[in-house]
């Protein structure tokens, strides 16, 4: 018994210390304990008959951008007495099958992203044949109305790219690097092409967005080897933060700009580390898609007048970042 | 692995040997590789029919079958390959390579799309042949060889599409000669009793029948089991190991071509970055269906049931309106359960011999 106690005490300590630390509260950070109702669901709910809307995106699971789109959609659904069913698949054929499944379930409206418009063509026609109204959002506006959506909520990526190019030009940039995190993504290519239309010396750099360490390594190598570059542009909040770190580490004399928005990026713009970001207001895309389908159900309305309804570009820089920071923290911007 | 290949010719033995003794019907049934998967498939179907009322209506079943067929067509080739003791990681992107080849070739050379379809078939068979040749020549494991092929094809898909078509997706070919006919062959919908059945389902069933016949009733089927069971023993008794393995890889190539053509003519353009990751779905389908990673054991029907389980699970989660975040978790759980059931059933079958 006694000869065993030599190891028992340390063992007891090893087991007890974590338990004790669990009982101690952290004075900063961590989860915010909710107090009362969540924002957005505290308002009044429509008294119209319940309807069901299928919401199908090309999101890769676990993408923060799409959480914001979905949050907007959920809020509109809560307000409009809508049951929202959500599914996503990045592969065109499988995304089309998800839409087909909602048609099988006989939903009252379908909101769909059209990043791969050709893959969606037949299934949107099938929705039309079944008498289900369709709106598209985020991507594919050039084909959405032709294939049968009554409107599209999003930003024209080429226009957004030009807006970024103009803003970079005003900041005195001549030779930006545009970092594309997904090879084969039409929208991202259009953004960089838009920048290039304003600043002809723009260079594209391809990184693998699914692997942040690879993004950092590739950007660092590029900044070390490309002395002509005077700016680096990320096409999404998390990527820009990684590029910002890479730029700081290499000590390269480059300005940083971005597309889209998240809380950290808003902070970086407020701190002056990032010049600006081009926000397409994803929350609005989700919210308006659901709301316009509700309006269609409510009174046969078709918002948009037969063309796309633009949710961006809206430029966020040091002059207006204060106003959006709080909402970025809430996951709304 | 010592699964003795079943001989096709039913010769009546003069001396009754315990190895050819008659076994009970139940015992025979329980020793089939696909029995575990069949139990699983029925369970998954019943489960989703209960939790999702729309799951069992005819149009939904048509959608589920379509989803299953887009995996199942590849699973047929992959199952045979795995019975032959190899596996292929390049299958997911090979499907997209084939579709890109057909569309880029006919677009660039302004030919009838059928020329592109034939060129794509040659390319797909060549990819399979190259995989097999490298494997035989280098004696490297198929894991390494096909992983290299997967990476090379992924890069080629992206690079060549931009080089030739100037974009990240292949140019539209819907206006070209022969497109309508090709769409009818590869991507049409056939009404069966008023339910729209996609033509891929028909091809899938046909492929399963052909593969089953090949495995059970022909000499080639014996060769496949033999090279998967013990390559050296097979070679010693005169089985053409090299030809069999290369043939199996080319069979996978054929399936990739068929599915690639469907993708092309159903959607008319192809995204060059797609297909990555699908190779695992095909392997999962084959494994759920009772194929062993070590080779020499499995069946084409089992692979088809595996694909069906996968199709039911992925669609069922949507029909049941669960949060799709859980999909991968259930998939992993299902794979584990299915393979455990297969192992238990197989052990019992061997004991009951």
pLDDT digits (tens, 9 = 90+) for B53-82: 889 999 999 999 999 999 999 999 999 999
Distance of residue B258 Cα from the nearest chain A Cα, in angstroms: 15
- Tell me which residue of A236, A280, A273, A243 sits closest to A258, measured CA to CA: A236
Same domain for A249 and A292, yes or no, is: no
Burial A221-250 (b: 16+ CB within 10 A, else e): ebbeeeeebbbbbbbbbbbbbbbbebbeeb
Same domain for A186 and A139, yes or no, is: no
What is the reported pLDDT for B263? 93
Parts of chain A with a pLDDT under 70? 1-7, 10-27, 32-43, 184
CA distance A291 to B318: 22
Same domain for A272 and A285, yes or no, is: no
What is the reported pLDDT for B5? 47
What is the reported pLDDT for A4? 54
Distance of residue B157 Cα from the nearest chain A Cα, in angstroms: 10
Same domain for A142 and A182, yes or no, is: no
Strand intervals (E) in chain B? 189-192, 195-198
The answer to pTM > 0.85 is no
Residues forming a β-bridge with A205: A179
Q: Classify residue A234 by its DSSP letter.
A: E
What is the reported pLDDT for B7? 46
CA distance B260 to B267: 11
Closest residue to A101, CB basis, from B278, B319, B325? B319
Report chain B residues whose CB lies below 8 A from the CB of A104.
54, 57, 59-60, 63, 319
Same domain for A117 and A239, yes or no, is: no
Same domain for A264 and A132, yes or no, is: no
In a domain? residue A325: no
In B, minimum Cα distance to A182 occurs at: B273
In a domain? residue A207: yes
State yes or no: cis peptide before A67, omega within 30 of 0.
no
pLDDT of B27 over the 80 cut: no
Domain B36-346 - what CATH class? Answer: mainly alpha
**Residue B73, token pair as written in the block:** 């067509």
In B, minimum Cα distance to A95 occurs at: B67
Mean pLDDT of B277-291: 90
CA distance A56 to A37: 27
> Cα-atom radius of gyration of chain A, to the nearest Å?
24
In a domain? residue A327: no
| Beta-carbon separation of A184 and B66 below 8 A | no
Same domain for A251 and A152, yes or no, is: no
Region for B302 from its dihedrals, namely left if φ exceeds 0, alpha if ψ lies in -120 to 50, beta otherwise: alpha
Q: What percent of chain B has pLDDT over 90?
A: 58
Instruction: Please tell me if residue A97 touches chain B, with a CB cutoff of 8 Å.
Output: yes
In a domain? residue A333: no
Distance of residue A8 Cα from the nearest chain B Cα, in angstroms: 38
CA distance A289 to A305: 15
Question: Where in chain B are the domains?
Answer: 36-346
Same domain for A112 and A209, yes or no, is: no
Tally the domains of chain A: 2
Same domain for A223 and A258, yes or no, is: yes
Least confident of A116-120, B190-194, B269-273: B269-273
Averaged pLDDT score across all residues of chain B: 88
pLDDT of B116 over the 90 cut: yes
What is the reported pLDDT for A25? 66
Same domain for A170 and A111, yes or no, is: no
CB contacts < 8 A (A, B): 76
> pLDDT tens digit string along B118-136?
999 999 999 999 999 999 9
Q: Three-state DSSP class for B172?
A: coil
Tally the C-alpha atoms within 13 A of residue A48's C-alpha that lie toward its C-beta. Answer: 17
Q: What is the span of the domain harbouring residue A236?
A: 157-279
What is the reported pLDDT for B3? 46
| Beta-carbon separation of A183 and B273 below 8 A | yes
Same domain for A194 and A134, yes or no, is: no
Other Cβ atoms closer than 10 A to B325: 12
| Beta-carbon separation of B273 and A91 below 8 A | no
In A, minimum Cα distance to B328 occurs at: A61
Mean pLDDT of B192-214: 94
Closest residue to A116, CB basis, from B54, B271, B319? B271
Closest residue to B63, CB basis, from A86, A97, A189? A97
Burial A162-174 (b: 16+ CB within 10 A, else e): bbbbbbbeeeebe
Same domain for A296 and A240, yes or no, is: no
Mean pLDDT of B183-193: 92
CATH no. for residue A109?
3.40.50.2300
Report chain B residues whose CB lies below 8 A from the CB of A92.
267, 271, 274
In a domain? residue A86: yes
In a domain? residue A328: no
Mean pLDDT of B94-108: 95
């Amino acid at each position: 018994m006694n000869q065993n106690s030599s190891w028992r005490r340390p063992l007891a300590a090893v087991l007890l210390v974590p338990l004790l630390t669990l009982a101690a509260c952290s004075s900063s950070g961590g989860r915010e304990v909710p107090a009362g109702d969540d924002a957005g669901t505290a308002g009044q709910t429509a008294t119209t008959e319940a309807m069901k809307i299928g919401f199908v995106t090309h999101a890769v699971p676990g993408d923060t951008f799409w959480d914001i789109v979905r949050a907007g959609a959920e809020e509109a659904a809560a307000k409009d007495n809508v049951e929202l069913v959500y599914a996503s698949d990045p592969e065109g054929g499988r995304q089309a099958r998800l839409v087909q499944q909602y048609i099988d379930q006989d939903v009252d409206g379908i909101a769909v992203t059209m990043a791969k418009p050709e893959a969606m063509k037949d299934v949107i026609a099938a929705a039309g044949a079944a008498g289900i109204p369709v709106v598209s959002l985020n991507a594919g506006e050039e084909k959405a109305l032709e294939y049968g959506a009554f409107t599209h909520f999003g930003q024209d990526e080429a226009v957004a790219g030009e807006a970024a190019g103009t803003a970079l030009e005003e900041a005195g940039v001549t030779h930006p690097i545009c970092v594309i995190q997904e090879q084969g993504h039409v929208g991202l290519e259009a953004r960089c092409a838009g920048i290039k239309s304003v600043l002809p010396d723009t260079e594209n750099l391809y990184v693998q967005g699914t692997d942040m360490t690879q993004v950092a390594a590739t950007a660092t190598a590029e900044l070390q080897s490309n002395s002509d570059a005077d700016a680096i542009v990320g096409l999404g909040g998390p990527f820009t933060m990684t590029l910002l770190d890479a730029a700081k580490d290499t000590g390269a004399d480059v300005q940083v700009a971005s597309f889209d928005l998240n809380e950290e990026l808003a902070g970086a713009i407020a701190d002056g580390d990032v010049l600006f970001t081009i926000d397409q207001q994803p929350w609005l895309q989700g919210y308006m898609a659901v709301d316009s389908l509700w309006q269609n159900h409510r009174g046969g309305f078709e918002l948009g007048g037969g063309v796309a309804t633009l949710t961006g570009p809206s430029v966020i820089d040091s002059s207006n970042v204060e106003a959006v920071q709080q909402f970025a923290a809430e996951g709304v911007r | 692995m010592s699964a003795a290949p079943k001989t096709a010719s039913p010769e009546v033995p003069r001396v009754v040997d315990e190895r050819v003794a008659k076994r009970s019907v139940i015992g025979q049934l329980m020793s089939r590789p696909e029995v575990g998967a069949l139990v699983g498939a029925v369970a998954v179907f019943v489960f989703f029919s209960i939790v999702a009322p729309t799951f069992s209506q005819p149009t939904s079943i048509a959608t589920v079958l379509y989803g299953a067929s887009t995996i199942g067509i590849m699973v047929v080739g992959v199952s045979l390959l795995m019975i032959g003791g190899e596996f292929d990681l390049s299958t997911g992107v090979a499907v997209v390579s084939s579709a890109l080849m057909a569309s880029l070739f006919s677009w660039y050379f302004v030919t009838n799309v059928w020329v592109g379809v034939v060129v794509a078939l040659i390319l797909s068979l060549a990819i399979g042949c190259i995989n097999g040749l490298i494997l035989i020549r280098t004696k490297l494991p198929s894991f390494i060889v096909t992983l290299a092929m997967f990476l090379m094809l992924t890069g080629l898909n992206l690079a060549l599409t931009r080089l030739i078509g100037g974009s990240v997706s292949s140019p539209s070919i819907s206006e070209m000669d022969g497109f309508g006919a090709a769409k009818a062959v590869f991507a049409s919908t056939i009404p069966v009793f008023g339910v729209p059945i996609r033509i891929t389902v028909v091809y899938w069933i046909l492929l399963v029948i052909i593969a089953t016949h090949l495995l059970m009733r022909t000499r080639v089927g014996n060769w496949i089991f033999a090279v998967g069971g013990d390559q050296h023993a097979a070679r010693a008794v005169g089985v053409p190991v090299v030809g069999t393995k290369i043939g199996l890889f080319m069979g996978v190539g054929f399936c990739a071509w068929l599915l690639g053509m469907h993708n092309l003519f159903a959607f008319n353009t192809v995204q060059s970055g797609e297909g990555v990751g699908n190779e695992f779905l095909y392997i999962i389908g084959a494994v759920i269906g009772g194929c062993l990673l070590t080779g020499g054991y499995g069946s084409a029907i089992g692979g088809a049931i595996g694909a069906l389980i996968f199709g039911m699970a992925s669609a069922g989660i949507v029909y049941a309106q669960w949060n799709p975040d859980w999909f991968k978790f259930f998939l992993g759980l299902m794979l584990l359960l299915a393979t455990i059931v297969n192992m238990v059933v197989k052990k019992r079958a061997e004991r009951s011999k």
